[in-house]
């Protein structure tokens, strides 16, 4: 029986790591060059450290990771200002608003080398964004963008069938389907050839206890290396679409903050190593609130994504869709984009038709239309023509500056205008009522914007005329 005392575990005993016993063999010391380089490599042992220190302590010194030794890099964009390269982008929205169609439109443009919808707004020509309307050959890329020629796309879809839905829609959008690799919803790493699915199609008369267990479904928590292997066979892959993200995480995982952050960090690492963009689609929860907190599941989805976009219906036009920025950690928030869902091809497949005009609306206003009046309130009382007459009369009456409100109302009634109509017209003109004076000598004045901004002088007219 061994009676020797147990040796401490270096992985568990922090005190042992900091102060190892004398009888414990230390790692051999390295001999460094006495010359001090101006900029040692980032993360490499600093030769300026004390060489008497152990190697495991020198390599963890804070000076080894000084940011002055790290070369700076500029952010690369797949879609300038909207979808960054090497990061995760989140596309959120309610079911049925067109999130998947917009993702397929992005994939079609990337595989065909077509320009982005806002190429003119970004100050770039179609050629600078990848192709020309008259010539579809590759052209000069946009600054800081690898969009030089058509690229491949990896698509993970759990909601639409690949044969009768996704491929017809991609072809209708002008995609080059030879550049798109798609994994079906029921694809399993344990059954890559789909033999189990073919077996299940046949009638199996065996009891449930004797039937083989179904293969494990694809799970991003452990199968990202498989995605890496697929992408390695397609070196020109620049986009990975996951639709929806929660379908590839396992049951109940989308609400676990730690698990979500681990998956998002792994996707971001994959995007950075392979120099591609990851676009993940997620739904919205039913509860009301700010757009930043409406994504279904853990808040870590939005927090870990570097760019998040909302797809919502236009409150003023139910047939139009809006692509609105929710957050962007890498650039200023881009402007909104508008689109409609049209049909194309002999099978009349739905496609995205982008519109050049988009309303000035935020994501919060699109999700909560009550916060932003989209339609003017219907007029009450007299017809609008009388209110327009009152507005023109007010502009003439207040052209020289502010005047007492009581005097204005009396003169308006003398011209046949109702007091309520004059007050509504005054509000529509953006008029301002200011009080001048104190006590019994105070008086209210009306003035229009930009006219008579100086403080009005009180008069004694209201003391004997009212």
What is the DSSP-derived secondary structure letter of residue 164? I
Q: Which helix (H) or strand (E) holds 108?
A: helix 99-112
Q: What are phi and psi of 136, to 5 degrees?
A: -90, 10
Do 295 and 287 touch, CB atoms closer than 8 A?
Answer: no
Preceding amide of 58 cis, omega within 30: no
Residue 131: what pLDDT? 35
Helix, strand, coil share of the chain (percent; to 5) = 30, 20, 50
Task: Compute the C-alpha angle 367/370/372, nearest 5°.
Answer: 85
Q: Tell me whether domains 77-192+215-371 and 384-465 share a fold.
A: no
203, 116 Cβ separation under 8 angstroms:
no
Q: Which of 228, 205, 225, 219 is nearest to 254 (CA)?
A: 219
**Strand segments (E) across 329-431:** 337-344, 349-355, 403-404
What is the CATH T-level fold of the domain 384-465, as seen in this structure?
Arc Repressor Mutant, subunit A (1.10.10)
Rounded Cα–Cα distance for residues 293 and 9 (Å): 44
Instruction: Answer whether 241's CB lies under 8 Å from 155's CB.
Output: yes
SS3 state of residue 226: helix
What is the reported pLDDT for 49? 53
pLDDT on residue 132? 34
Q: Which residues of the chain have pLDDT under 50?
A: 1, 10-18, 24, 26-37, 122-147, 195, 373-377, 379, 381-382, 459-466
**Token couple for 28:** 């051999």
Q: Which of 317, 319, 315 is nearest to 341 (CA)?
A: 319
45 burial class (0-12, 13-18, 19+ CB within 10 angstroms)? middle
- Alpha-helical regions (H) of 312-375: 363-367
pLDDT of residue 463: 40
Q: Which CATH class is domain 77-192+215-371?
A: alpha beta
Residue located via tokens 């005993």? 13
Instruction: Tell me if residue 314 falls in helix, strand or coil.
Output: strand
What pLDDT does 194 receive? 56
Q: What is the H or E stretch that residue 406 is in?
A: helix 405-414
Q: Which residues sit opposite 241 in a β-bridge? A: 155, 279
pLDDT value at residue 2: 52
Predicted TM-score (pTM) of the model is 0.63
Distance CA 111, CA 113 (A): 6
Tell me how long the chain is: 466
Unique residue bearing structure tokens 């009005």: 456
Which phi and psi angles does 391 have, rounded to 5°? Answer: -65, -40
Answer for the pair 307, 330: CB distance below 8 angstroms, yes or no. yes
Query: Which pLDDT does position 443 carry in this prediction?
Result: 79
What is the distance of C-alpha 103 from the center of its chain? 13
How many whole angstroms separate alpha carbon 109 and alpha carbon 80?
14
Q: How many helices (H) and strands (E) does the chain have?
A: 13, 14
CB-CB neighbours of 172 under 10 Å: 20
**Residue 368: HSE in the Cβ half-sphere, 13 Å Cα cutoff:** 9
**Given this model, what pLDDT does residue 51 score?**
56
What pLDDT does residue 245 have?
92
Residue 140's Cα: distance from chain center in Å?
27
Domains in the chain: boundaries: 26-72, 77-192+215-371, 384-465
Beta carbons within 8 Å of 204's beta carbon, 6+ residues apart = 211
Is residue 103 within 8 Å of residue 281, measured between CB atoms? yes
């Amino acid at each position: 029986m061994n009676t020797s005392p147990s040796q401490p575990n270096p992985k568990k005993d922090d005190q042992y790591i900091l102060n190892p016993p004398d009888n414990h063999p230390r790692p051999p010391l390295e001999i460094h060059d006495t010359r001090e380089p101006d900029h040692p490599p980032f993360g490499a042992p600093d030769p300026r450290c004390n060489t008497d220190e152990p190697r495991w302590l020198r390599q963890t010194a804070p000076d080894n990771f000084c940011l002055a030794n790290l070369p700076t890099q500029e952010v690369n964009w797949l879609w300038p200002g909207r979808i960054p390269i090497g990061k995760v982008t989140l596309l959120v929205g309610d079911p049925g608003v067109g999130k998947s169609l917009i993702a397929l439109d992005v994939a079609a443009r990337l595989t065909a080398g077509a320009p982005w919808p806002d190429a003119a707004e970004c100050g770039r020509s179609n050629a600078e964004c990848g192709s020309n309307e008259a010539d579809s050959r590759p052209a000069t890329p946009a600054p800081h963008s690898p969009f030089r020629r058509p690229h491949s796309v990896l698509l993970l879809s759990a909601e639409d069938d690949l044969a009768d839905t996704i491929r017809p829609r991609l072809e209708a959008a002008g995609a080059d389907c030879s550049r798109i690799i798609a994994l079906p919803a029921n694809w399993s790493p344990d059954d890559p050839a789909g033999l189990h699915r073919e077996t299940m199609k046949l009638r199996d008369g065996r009891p449930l206890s004797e039937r083989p267990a179904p293969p494990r479904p694809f799970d991003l928590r452990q199968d990202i290396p498989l995605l890496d292997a697929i992408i390695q066979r397609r070196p020109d892959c620049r986009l990975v679409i996951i639709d929806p993200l929660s379908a590839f995480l396992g049951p109940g995982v989308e609400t676990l903050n730690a698990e979500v952050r681990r998956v998002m960090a792994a996707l971001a690492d994959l995007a950075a190593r392979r120099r591609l963009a990851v676009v993940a689609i997620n739904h919205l929860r039913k509860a009301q609130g700010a757009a930043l907190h409406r994504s279904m599941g853990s808040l870590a989805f939005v927090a870990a994504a570097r760019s998040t976009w909302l797809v919502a219906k236009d409150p003023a036009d139910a047939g139009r869709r809006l692509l609105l920025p929710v957050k962007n950690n890498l650039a200023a928030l881009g402007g909104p984009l508008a689109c409609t869902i049209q049909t194309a091809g002999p099978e009349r497949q739905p496609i995205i038709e982008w519109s050049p005009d988009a309303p000035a609306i935020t994501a919060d206003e699109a999700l909560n239309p009550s916060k932003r009046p989209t339609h003017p309130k219907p007029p009450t009382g007299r017809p609008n023509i009388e209110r327009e007459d009152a507005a023109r009369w007010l502009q003439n009456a207040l052209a020289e500056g502010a005047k007492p409100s009581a005097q204005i109302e009396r003169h308006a009634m003398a011209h046949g205008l109702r007091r309520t109509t004059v007050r509504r017209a005054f509000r529509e003109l953006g008029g301002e009522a200011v009080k001048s004076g104190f006590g019994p000598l105070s008086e209210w004045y009306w003035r229009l914007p930009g006219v008579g901004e100086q403080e009005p002088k009180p008069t004694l007219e209201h003391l004997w005329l009212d």
